């Protein structure tokens, strides 16, 4: 039977996810790419060489550094290399670009018409969301939480009405203060999960309210941390306050029933009440226009 798995491209940029901690999470495609790429652009060359060694892979291509402080200046060199061969982009753990280097080269490659592909794999974001046990059907990812107190509290204030779950990274030295600020700004009963050392020996997921987690973090937290905060409850809304949104959808071509269901679900109000209010407002507007 013919092999249905495509080989690596002969040219272009290849993004590859690397294990968060457990070496067995490395894919066969990652092994192949490390062995065959013409250039390996690594966030930390020593860690990438150590990863390859642990995987029993010999890197045949040139290994160059590509991290936060040099990726802009490295971009032209790597783009030129990607026109002639394969440039593999890897970071220390997880998926490149997701709060890690890689964007400068990928954006330039797209602009220049140079092929870009991805070897999917481990991601701290999706792993933490799945492990959190919270309502994460809709979520946003905000990278690292702001370091300074004022900026951090302003960021949290912007999440007060956010109904989607929020995922972010934080250092073990700042997680306690982040949880304290989150408790004060978002309220002590909002639920969250601190996911640390994902896929590693001492992996831990601590779930609870923000008040409970702030108290727990006071004892000290170690390791790589991904925080998931559940979305807030919908604010109480009166059907009359939502009529304009319904009628706007109707004006755009939606059926009244469909528009009402959509807005009612989003706002957490009864469909029947919103339908009656919308029909009444619609009839009133038509009556006024006929006078």
Could you tell me if 138 and 128 are in contact, meaning their C-beta atoms sit under 8 angstroms apart? Answer: no
CA distance 218 to 93: 27
Neighbours of 251 (CB within 10 A): 9
The stretches of 23-70 forming alpha helices (DSSP H) are 28-36, 45-54
The pLDDT, as a whole number, for residue 237 is: 62
Q: How far apart are CA 59 and CA 41, in angstroms?
A: 12
Q: Which fold has domain 125-229?
A: 3.30.950
Torsion of CA 145, 119, 49, 128, to 10 degrees: 30
Query: If the chain, 291 residues long, is cut into consecutive pieces of 10 residues, what is the mean pLDDT of each piece?
Result: 67 98 96 98 98 97 96 96 98 95 97 97 97 96 95 92 94 97 94 98 97 97 97 72 83 87 76 91 67 51
Q: What φ, ψ does residue 87 adopt, rounded to 5°?
A: -110, 115
278 contacts: CB under 8 Å, gap ≥ 6: 239, 243, 246, 247, 250, 256, 259, 260
* Protein fold of 12-122: Cobalt-precorrin-4 Transmethylase; domain 1 (3.40.1010)
What is the helix (H) or strand (E) element at residue 201, kind and residue range?
none
CA distance 261 to 216: 42
> Tens digits of per-residue pLDDT, 19-68?
999 999 999 999 999 999 999 999 999 999 999 999 999 999 999 999 99
Which tokens hold the place of 95? 């998926």
Output the pLDDT for position 269.
76
What are the backbone dihedrals phi and psi of residue 32, each rounded to the nearest 5 degrees, phi first? Answer: -60, -45
Residues 6 or more apart whose Cβ sits within 8 Å of residue 183: 190, 210, 211, 213, 214
CA–CA separation, 5 and 163 (whole Å): 40
Asked if 198 and 208 count as a contact pair (C-beta separation under 8 A), the reply is no
- Looking at the whole model, is its pTM more than 0.85? no
Q: Looking at residue 1, what is its pLDDT?
A: 42
Beta pairing partners, 226: 169, 195
Closest CA to 259 of 273, 271, 241: 271
The mean pLDDT value of the chain amounts to 92
CA angle, corner 281, sides to 280 and 286, nearest 5? 100
What CA–CA distance (Å, rounded) separates 111 from 82?
Answer: 13
- Could you state, in order of their start, the residue ranges of all structural domains in the chain? 12-122, 125-229, 239-284
């Amino acid at each position: 039977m013919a092999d249905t798995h495509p080989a690596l491209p002969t040219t272009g940029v290849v993004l590859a996810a690397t294990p968060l901690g457990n070496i067995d999470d490395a894919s066969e495609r990652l092994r192949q790419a490390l062995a065959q790429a013409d250039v390996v652009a690594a966030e930390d060359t020593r860690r990438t060489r150590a990863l390859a060694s642990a995987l029993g892979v010999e890197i045949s291509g040139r290994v160059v550094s590509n991290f936060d402080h040099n990726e802009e200046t490295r971009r032209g060199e790597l783009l030129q290399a990607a026109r002639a061969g394969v440039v593999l982009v890897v970071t220390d753990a997880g998926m490149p670009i997701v709060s890690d280097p890689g964007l400068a080269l990928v954006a330039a490659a797209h602009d220049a018409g140079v092929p870009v592909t991805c070897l999917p794999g481990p991601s701290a974001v999706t792993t933490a969301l799945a492990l959190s046990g919270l309502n994460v059907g809709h979520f946003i990812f905000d990278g690292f939480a702001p370091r300074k107190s004022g900026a951090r509290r302003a960021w949290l204030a912007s999440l007060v009405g956010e109904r989607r779950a929020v995922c972010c990274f934080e250092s073990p030295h700042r997680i306690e203060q982040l949880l304290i600020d989150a408790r004060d700004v978002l309220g002590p009963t909002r639920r969250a999960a601190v996911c640390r050392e994902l896929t590693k020996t001492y992996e831990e997921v601590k779930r609870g309210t923000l008040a409970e987690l702030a108290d727990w973090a006071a004892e000290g937290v170690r390791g790589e941390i991904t925080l998931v905060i559940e979305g807030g409850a919908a604010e109480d809304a009166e059907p009359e306050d939502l009529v304009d949104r319904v009628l706007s959808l109707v004006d755009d071509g939606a059926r009244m029933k469909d528009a009402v269901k959509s807005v009612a679900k989003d706002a957490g109000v009864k469909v029947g009440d919103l339908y009656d209010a919308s029909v009444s407002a619609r009839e009133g507007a038509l009556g006024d226009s006929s006078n």
